[in-house]
């Protein structure tokens, strides 16, 4: 039943949702399923009943599940965090509180190395800020001019990352108070080290850091990954948007323009901080766009930007361990016509001593993907001195290759993709799944096998198969050549979508696949981000899931919907799959939506509070695995 035809039903559902939202949880309601009754003819292994596939003020989840708001923007993180007061927010307070726009989520079991599923650390990225929703009296159009220094510093402090300790009591999750692990990494105060081949290079030096090895802050951390030795990788994505100044007036103009810095920033930061003005500090952008590694189990650990993994707009950084112990890290460059990358470490991991792996990601080979029509793909190494990556083309060393990874990838003939976002390996079958979110700029003459649609507004999912991968076999992820195929093209049938035929009857369509994860049965869980197209498409962003093997392959179902104008991020299962953590990012982000008149006030629904990005813990009423 897709449409409700009774006003009373609509009203009563709203009342129930409002009441349960106020209590911090929303229960799935019966009778919302758009899927038909469970029956033998549904080939999917995912048996949950879908919630209503429409946009609403609050969130909603499949029948038989609970969605509990765990932590929101402004809630305390550090032990000394002051109470949140949205009308008196300060940078000092924000620097100790949960940041804005939560994105990547990693559940790190406690104790370290265990498979604990009821006690652990949640490591959460804070990607960016919506000042017009954080402070009264601003609009989208005037905020850059109106923001004062303190507000800008609140924004900077609201970027970065949070570590919180969480524990499950019965069906409910709680943040552990006064945890020794709790910490904020912020863009305002936290010191980061640079390591690897580009660390200390002249192009990384600034007035504040003549060593080229120490950076304050991390920016636009989108998704991330977890290493086999229990550290967290967080990926710096659209760092270009923070910088103002004319790139042509700097010695780095080709580099800055290639990364999207054109002279105007959507943020006001350069008005108060010279380092965000490239005419004053032309090398500052070179210190962002990296993958950051830090150890959440050591609250005093210094986070490190690993330059060997290259500099671009990293959506994520996800790891696979090879049979010989070396580690592979996949990463997409999230922009239209950009590339898919792979890093293979030189050395194997030390499984006995996790601290011995501290420099493992500083040595290895970065490659970029070329997709050919015959269904094969080739990894092209980005190694200084090889092929065109020489002084003749402006590369004086491997540091230049890494700082200008996009330009190096252009020269070796990589395939421009439809915005590569998350790239994850399925532990059940060894295959790698690439979320290609969309590319409305691809022209008919630019299509290729792996990016087959012009004006690709809905995106698609690619499936890569390394040699030797298959059921229960991880395969050789260091191989030069993989095979590829398209799992499905997204959108509606009229857009040329290619889901399982039974999706129309038993599932739901999606648009703009963004992040993903797998459950213990190897099923693919996808979070979506349609941006402002969410209103045009009239379907909510949220969690969708499908089989990738068996008769239900690519039969997509809708599991959880975000509140109005949010996107879905960070899906992370506990090892037992009995909890799924998700991140609701930028609820209420719309061109007419402000602090004073937001399009939703999720999750508090209090007249004095704006919407707040928050982490949600989803569990099943019967205590079983989520989605089972």
Partner 1 sequence: MGQPATEADGSLALWVCNRCGWVYAPAEGDPTRRIPPLTAFERLPPDWSCPSCGADRDYFFH
262/483 with CB nearer partner 1:
262
Closest distance to partner 1 from the beta carbon of 311 (Å)? 18
> Any contact of residue 263 with partner 1 (CB under 8 A)?
yes
Picking from 537, 454, 453, the residue whose alpha carbon sits closest to that of residue 498 is 453
String of contacts with partner 1 for each residue 324-363, x by CB under 8 A: -----------xx---------------------------
> Any contact of residue 421 with partner 1 (CB under 8 A)?
no
Sole window of 167-175, 234-242, 373-381, 597-605 interacting with partner 1 (rule: CB under 8 A)? 234-242
241/628 with CB nearer partner 1:
241
For residue 423, what are the β-bridge partners?
A: 434
Answer for the pair 282, 247: CB distance below 8 angstroms, yes or no.
no
Residues in binding contact with partner 1, number by CB under 8 A: 27
Sole window of 73-81, 146-154, 434-442, 499-507 interacting with partner 1 (rule: CB under 8 A)? 434-442
How far, in Å, CA of 495 to CA of 509, rounded?
A: 11
Answer for the pair 554, 43: CB distance below 8 angstroms, yes or no.
no
Sole window of 10-18, 261-269, 544-552, 569-577 interacting with partner 1 (rule: CB under 8 A)? 261-269
Q: How far is CA 516 from CA 293, 461, 528, 551, 569, in A?
A: 20, 10, 9, 21, 9
Closest distance to partner 1 from the beta carbon of 240 (Å)? 7
Type and span of the H or E element at 107: strand 102-109
Closest distance to partner 1 from the beta carbon of 409 (Å)? 19
Q: How far is CA 190 from CA 221, 289, 589, in A?
A: 14, 17, 28
Closest distance to partner 1 from the beta carbon of 271 (Å)? 14
Sole window of 6-14, 55-63, 439-447, 539-547 interacting with partner 1 (rule: CB under 8 A)? 439-447
Q: Is the peptide bond before 111 cis (omega within 30 degrees of 0)?
A: yes
Sole window of 26-34, 313-321, 361-369, 532-540 interacting with partner 1 (rule: CB under 8 A)? 532-540
How far, in Å, CA of 216 to CA of 190, rounded?
A: 6
How far, in Å, CA of 126 to CA of 99, rounded?
A: 6
The two three-digit tokens of residue 184, written as one number: 């904020």
String of contacts with partner 1 for each residue 586-625, x by CB under 8 A: ---x-x----------------------------------
51/540 with CB nearer partner 1:
540
Picking from 339, 310, 334, the residue whose alpha carbon sits closest to that of residue 450 is 339
State which of residues 34, 89, 162, 438 lies at the interface with partner 1 (CB under 8 A).
438
How far, in Å, CA of 612 to CA of 600, rounded?
A: 10
String of contacts with partner 1 for each residue 137-156, x by CB under 8 A: ---xx--x------------
Picking from 241, 223, 84, 52, the residue whose alpha carbon sits closest to that of residue 154 is 84
State which of residues 443, 494, 607, 608 lies at the interface with partner 1 (CB under 8 A).
443
Sole window of 391-399, 409-417, 423-431, 525-533 interacting with partner 1 (rule: CB under 8 A)? 525-533
Sole window of 76-84, 284-292, 339-347, 528-536 interacting with partner 1 (rule: CB under 8 A)? 528-536
CB atoms within 10 A of CB 192: 22
Closest distance to partner 1 from the beta carbon of 542 (Å)? 18
CB atoms within 10 A of CB 574: 24
Answer for the pair 424, 513: CB distance below 8 angstroms, yes or no.
no
How far, in Å, CA of 279 to CA of 273, rounded?
A: 12
String of contacts with partner 1 for each residue 446-465, x by CB under 8 A: -----------x--------
> Any contact of residue 238 with partner 1 (CB under 8 A)?
yes
State which of residues 441, 485, 501, 505 lies at the interface with partner 1 (CB under 8 A).
441
Closest distance to partner 1 from the beta carbon of 238 (Å)? 6
DSSP result, 202-258: GGG--SS-TTS-EEE----EEEEEE-TTS-EEEEE--GGGG-BS-GGGSTTHHHHHH
Chain contacts with partner 1 (rule: CB under 8 A): 140-141, 144, 238, 240-241, 260, 262-266, 335-336, 438, 440-443, 457, 530-533, 536, 589, 591
């Amino acid at each position: 039943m897709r449409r409700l035809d009774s006003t009373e039903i609509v009203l009563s559902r709203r009342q129930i949702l409002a009441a349960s939202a106020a209590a911090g949880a929303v229960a799935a309601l019966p009778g919302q399923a758009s899927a038909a009754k469970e029956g033998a003819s549904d080939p999917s292994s995912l048996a949950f009943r879908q919630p209503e596939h429409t946009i609403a003020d609050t969130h909603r989840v499949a029948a038989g599940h609970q969605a509990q708001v765990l932590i929101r923007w402004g809630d305390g993180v550090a032990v000394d965090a002051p109470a949140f007061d949205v009308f008196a927010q300060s940078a000092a307070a924000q620097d100790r509180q949960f940041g804005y726009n939560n994105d990547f989520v990693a559940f790190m079991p406690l104790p370290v190395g265990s498979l604990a599923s009821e006690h652990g650390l949640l490591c959460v990225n804070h990607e960016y800020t919506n000042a017009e929703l954080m402070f009264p009296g601003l609009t989208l159009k005037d905020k850059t001019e109106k923001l004062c220094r303190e507000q800008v510093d609140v924004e900077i402090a609201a970027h970065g990352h949070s570590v919180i300790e969480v524990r499950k009591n019965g069906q409910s999750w709680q943040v552990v108070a006064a945890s020794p692990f709790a910490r904020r990494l912020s863009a305002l105060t936290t010191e980061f080290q640079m390591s690897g081949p580009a660390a200390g290079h002249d192009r990384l030096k600034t007035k504040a850091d003549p060593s080229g090895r120490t950076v304050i802050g991390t920016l636009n951390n989108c998704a991330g990954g977890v290493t086999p030795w229990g550290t967290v990788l967080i990926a710096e994505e659209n760092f270009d948007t923070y910088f103002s100044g004319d790139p042509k007036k700097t010695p780095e103009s080709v580099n800055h323009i290639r990364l999207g810095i054109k002279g105007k920033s959507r943020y006001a930061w350069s008005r108060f901080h010279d380092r965000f003005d490239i005419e004053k500090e032309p090398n500052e952008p070179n210190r962002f766009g990296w993958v950051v590694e830090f150890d959440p189990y050591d609250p005093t650990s210094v986070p490190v930007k690993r330059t060997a993994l290259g500099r671009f707009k990293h959506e994520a950084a996800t790891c696979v361990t090879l049979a010989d112990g070396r580690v592979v890290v996949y990463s997409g460059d999230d922009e239209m016509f950009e590339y898919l990358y792979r890093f293979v470490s030189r050395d194997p991991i030390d499984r006995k001593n996790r601290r011995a792996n501290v420099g493992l990601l500083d040595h290895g080979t970065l490659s970029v993907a070329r997709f050919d029509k015959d269904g094969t793909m080739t990894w092209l190494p980005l190694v200084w001195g090889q092929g065109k990556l020489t002084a003749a083309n402006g590369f004086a060393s491997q540091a230049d290759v890494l700082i200008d990874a996009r330009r190096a990838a252009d020269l070796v003939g990589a395939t421009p993709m439809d915005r590569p976002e998350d790239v994850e390996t399925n532990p059940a079958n060894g295959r790698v799944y690439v979320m290609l979110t969309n590319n409305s700029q691809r022209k008919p003459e630019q299509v290729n096998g792996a990016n087959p649609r012009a004006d690709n507004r809905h995106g698609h999912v690619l499936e890569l198969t390394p040699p030797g991968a298959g059921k229960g076999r991880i395969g050789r992820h260091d191989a030069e050549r993989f095979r590829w195929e398209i799992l499905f093209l997204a959108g509606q049938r009229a857009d040329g979508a290619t889901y399982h035929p039974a999706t129309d009857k038993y599932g739901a369509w999606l648009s703009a696949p963004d992040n993903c994860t797998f459950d213990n049965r190897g099923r693919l869980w996808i979070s979506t981000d349609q941006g402002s197209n969410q209103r045009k498409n009239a379907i909510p962003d949220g969690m969708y899931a499908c089989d990738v093997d068996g008769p239900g392959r690519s039969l997509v179902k809708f599991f959880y919907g975000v509140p109005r104008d949010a996107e879905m991020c960070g899906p992370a299962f506990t090892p037992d799959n009995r909890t799924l953590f998700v991140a609701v990012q930028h609820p209420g982000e719309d061109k007419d939506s402000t602090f004073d008149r937001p399009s939703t006030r999720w999750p508090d629904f209090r007249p004095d509070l704006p919407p707040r990005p928050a982490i949600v813990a989803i569990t099943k009423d019967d205590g079983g695995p989520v989605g089972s």
